[in-house]
Structure 1
Amino acid sequence: MRTVRALTAALLAGAALFGPAAVPVLADSPTPTPSGSASAETAGPTEAGTTFRTAAFFRQGQQATAEASTGDYLYWVFPADTGQRPTVTASVTLPESAVRHGASTWRIDVYDGLRRRQPCMYGMQSRTAAREAATVELACTLRPVRPWADTWDDDPLPGSYYVRLTVTGLPEDDLGQPFAARIGAVSAEEGGAYAGGGSLAAPLVPGATTEDAATADGTSAVEARAPEDGWSSGWWSDRWIWTAVGGALAALAGIGGYTLTRGSGRPPRVPPAA
């Protein structure tokens, strides 16, 4: 009984030490939990680029807006780090239905820092709006960002992610009509479930390296494109917590087993002679 009580007390102490971080997540939902400052929408850029090179930069949690003509390609770029599963959303405000001649189909595509198009796990990245519709809503949830990948793999890697918005189908007479767009991105933190055994030398930020000359405020080009709390090193994950907990439990089990074995091997106590 003393051994059982000791083991129970040790388990309770371990739970109090590691807290909720050591509790596994049993359910996964396609709806992301905002990380960092993503829960508070802040203003982002009010213009979009027209190519990858001129893409407008925004951070997760911000709302980027732009006005353009139907038929234009609009580009934005945001950072995503190791362990995040970004969800990109787009809202397009369409021209007045009275001046439109039919339905229109809109689409968002997401590319990583190597300009590889990333598939969507969830969401409607392409949707057709009827002539009477005032807006169209699009969404794309990417796969979790990994710290590294083999050269032949196309897994998402930490760095810049490009969003492209365009109309893919509409009556020819509707080309050139004005529309407004709103773009945002938030991430669910996946943690050690998708951690790897390595990390990139530097995040995939096109046209920038960690050795680039510092900008006017003293930051490098890579740092200027980093998330609000900076790039992670890639070595930490909650697997370290599980490793520590497992090691502690194994040690306690060994001590308990030794104590029980030693106690069972002792000869029975003989009462003293009268």
Structure 2
Amino acid sequence: MRVVRALSAALLTLGLAAAPAAADSSPSPSQDASDTSAPTRAGTSFRTAAEIEQGQRATASGSTGDYLYWSFPADTGQRPTVGATVELPDTHAAQTWQIDVYDGLRRRQACQYGAQTRTAAADATSVELACVLRTVRAWSEPWANDPLPGTYYVRLTATGVAASDLGLPVDSEVRVDSRDIGGSAAVDGSLAEPLVPGAATRSGDEEESSAVLAGLEPEDGWASGRWSDRWVWTAVGGALAALAGVAGYALTRGSGRPSRVPPAA
């Protein structure tokens, strides 16, 4: 009976530990689409990329053939999803549009899945693109191309455009959301600093001017190398292993002492 009670307590502990892990796997909260702080323009290069928060719906007007850039922060354990919609002019030829994502070192990041490139027919009014990145890791080998915490850049452009369509006006919309993967993506190690381009410089003894090229960061700050629910699962696994050992010993030991063998006559 005591063994059953101990196992029940262990299962209850496991359920309590699993609750925050399940919460971590839920999508990040979305902001109101009518948020006036969302940018209404896009940059034309990495240095002039318009900064957006995750959950914001950024819009921009441009011309067919332009390169449009946005940047957003992504932290450890997040799996960002970048979506873009391009409203095409009334009259146009077939066009191929593409969305690319780069990290803070300007390394192009591969998409796990999603329609990263699409061709719009001549009668299409819009085209939708999507790119689901790999999970952001806290640390990686120098030679690897794994996503790391820091600033990410989104580049939207038309790669296949007829000469007659160059310069035609288009409206674009970009949104970034992410899913928190949690401790299942945790690794041993962390970066000293997130990959945020730019540097802080001092002007005189009293003033401090910022030359940071990307100033946005996650709402709760950068979490690289901090607490992970991986530790919770490790502790719960150790506790269950110990309880299983105790239960096995109790079952094999028996409930009473062996009877004494009567002496021989």
Q: Same fold (TM over 0.5)?
A: yes
Question: In structure 2, what is the equivalent of residue 126 of structure 1?
Answer: 117
Distance 1:267 1:219, change over 3 A: farther
Q: Aligned equivalents of 2:249 and 2:4: distance in 1? A: 15
Instruction: Specify whether residues 252 and 103 from structure 1 end up closer, same or farther in structure 2 by C-alpha distance, changes over 3 A only.
Output: same
* 1:174/1:112 CA distance change after superposition, 3 Å: same
RMSD: 2.9
Deviation at 1:39, TM superposition (A): 5.9
Query: C-alpha displacement at 1:247, in angstroms?
Result: 1.6
Matched, 1:194 2:188: no
- Is 1:64–1:183's contact at 8 Å kept on the other side of the alignment? yes
Aligned residues: 256
Deviations 1:183-239 (A, max 9, x none): 01101111122111011001100113xx6669x999995993201222114232221
Unmatched tracts of structure 1, length 5 or more: 26-31
When residues 139 and 174 of structure 1 are mapped into structure 2, their CA distance, relative to the original with a 3 A threshold, is: same
What SS is found at the alignment partner of 1:121?
Answer: strand
Q: 1:115 aligns with which of 103, 106, 110?
A: 106
Query: Which digits, 9 at most, give the CA deviation of each residue in 1:141-171, with x for residues without a partner?
Result: 1111000111100000000000001111121
Matches within 5 A, 1:79-118: 79-97=73-91, 100=92, 102-118=93-109
Q: 1:256 aligns with which of 243, 247, 252?
A: 247
Q: Is the 8 A contact 1:89 1:184 kept in 2?
A: yes
Give the structure with the higher percent strand: 2
Unpaired stretches in structure 2, ≥5 consecutive residues: none
Counterpart among 34, 40, 65 of residue 27 in structure 2: 34
Bigger drift between 138-147 and 6-15 goes to 6-15
* 1:150-189 alignment, distance < 5 Å: 150-189=141-180
- Secondary structure at the aligned position of 1:183 is classed as strand
Q: Tell me which moved more, 62-71 or 221-230.
A: 221-230
- How far residue 70 of structure 1 moved from its aligned partner, in angstroms, is 1.1
Asked if the contact 2:201/2:208 (under 8 Å) is kept, the reply is: no
2:128 corresponds to: 137
Identity %: 58
What's the counterpart of residue 53 of structure 1?
47
| Alpha carbons of structure 1 residues 21 and 184: separation in structure 2 relative to 1, 3 Å | same
Distance in 2, matches of 1:22 and 1:236, equals 12
- SS state of the match for residue 224, structure 1? coil
AA matched with 2:7:
T
1:204 is aligned to: 195
Shift in Å, 1:179: 0.6
3-state DSSP of counterpart to 2:111: coil
Given candidates 216, 219, 222, the residue that maps to 1:228 is: 219
Q: Is the 8 A contact 2:107 2:145 kept in 1?
A: yes
* Counterpart contact for 1:59–1:228, Cα < 8 Å: no
Q: Give the aligned residue type for 1:113.
A: G
CA contact (8 A) 2:151 2:214 kept: no
List per-residue Cα deviations over 1:125-144 (Å, max 9, x = no partner): 11111111111000001111
* Aligned-pair CA distance for 1:71: 1.0
2:139 is paired with a residue whose SS is coil
TM-score normalized by structure 1?
0.83
Going from structure 1 to structure 2, the CA distance change for 1:217 and 1:232 (only over 3 Å counts) comes to: farther
Contact kept in structure 1, 2:198 and 2:213, CA below 8 Å? no
Match of 2:3 in 1: 4
154-163 or 14-23: which moved more?
Answer: 14-23
Which residue number in structure 2 is paired with residue 29 of structure 1?
none
Is the CA contact (8 Å cut-off) linking 1:93 and 1:179 kept in structure 2? yes
| Segment drifting more, 226-235 vs 71-80 | 226-235
CA contact (8 A) 1:82 1:158 kept: yes
Q: Is the 8 A contact 2:79 2:181 kept in 1?
A: yes
Q: Does 1:14 align with 2:6?
A: no
